[in-house]
Chains A and B, each alone.
Chain A
């Protein structure tokens, strides 16, 4: 089971948890498994065609998956997956 880091805006789907365990051999499978555990998450991460949204960055350890194999990027049990969305806050 890989560890998945959940950012603040998505924690309402994970009962407030910032770290969850999820199974899957690659990022697509991890997202499906997350959706099964926490319904609603997938729609926040992926567009209608199942592609990860361009303003959401998914990292396996410290590498962004767009620089790896996208949704097919393999994920091992000891890997940490981080979801880091664009945030705009700072001023107001």
Chain B
């Protein structure tokens, strides 16, 4: 049986495979020519610098993954490695798959770099992060780029209660880099039936501290900022403006209208949900993309006492787990820019009937806050707006509380 030395093989491939210079490649890339540049180097080499617009497929995966990027066999492809040797082998493998217009970049990335052409050094994840988020990054909808977006994102959660617990836990697990939590309250034993971020040992301790502890145990990548305060018209702008998006898990109407108005005015997307007994609602208010806001859905608040609170009516413990998780899903989609959000749609869930349903939410062209000619352009007194007379006369009923965080 005849054999070739590796030198002989390379010499043979140089005769058979078309090669292009880095200058020719640069001309093609600059000219916007239709050419798929495939970088087949190893991950560590790629991380140290690569050509903008190139696709990274390590050589071991080349035949398995190329069709995702170039389904058409006539697609012009340039294969690049570090020095122009492995790319000959890669080009030969693509020709074996039937690709008809393949070239190897002579001299590879080293020549590109030495030729003074631009390259990018990607922001990279640590090995630990690569392992932790591997089930995310393997999906093209997330990828390393999406995971880095999550790590760079800042999300504010209003309330570390029933909804805020699962939301915060899933966002932390997903690697949302900064999670702010607004909550004034301390953990009560009656919270533990559903507020899964808190533990028995946290009873009587501030919820923001308890939540921060749970998150730290789950994912050290996440920075938690606890705002142990009542969200008010005075501090809402200062707090909300520090974040990219807001997730509402509050328990009273004044806070809901306050958060809505502040998000509309500041141009922050808001993921909103509420729960009662066995039913939940979830939607997205994104007026930066012409979506409706909370006031388009519910123009006026109910009078105090008209709508019972969870404290009065009860809440099924698993329900906030479902609805809060849906809020986390929507928030992550908004950060990644993937999929279709619930903007303009109200998703309702009835746990007893095991039914999800969807209603349209239409933007109100006369909305006092999010229409073209708003009449509310700064934050107002939301207790007064909700018919709550004064702080001194507040009951402990969640429905008539001041915008305090129970």
Binding site for B on A (CB under 8 A): 7-9, 18, 53-55, 57, 59, 62-64, 67, 82, 84-92
Contacts and interface: CB of A to CB of B under 8 A. Distances in A.
B253 A88 contact: yes
Interface string B270-309: 0001111111010000000000000001111110001111
A64 B185 CA distance: 36
Contacts of B163: 90-91
Interface stretch (B63-71, B352-360, B375-383): B352-360
Given A63-B359, A85-B302, 17 more contacts: A8-B277, A18-B350, A55-B307, A64-B360, A86-B301, A86-B302, A88-B253, A88-B309, A89-B251, A89-B313, A90-B248, A90-B274, A90-B275, A90-B320, A91-B163, A91-B183, A92-B309
A29 to B, nearest CB: 22
Interface string B357-370: 11111100000000
Interface stretch (B108-116, B144-152, B169-177, B398-406): B398-406
Interface residues of B, number: 55
A59 B359 contact: yes
B346 interface: yes
Interface string B60-102: 0000000000000000000000000000000000000000000
B311 interface: yes
A88 B256 contact: yes
B291 to A, nearest CB: 15
Contact of A84 (B160, B253, B281, B399): B281
Contacts of A54: 298-300
5 contacts: A57-B298, A87-B307, A91-B158, A91-B183, A91-B398
Contacts of A53: 300, 302
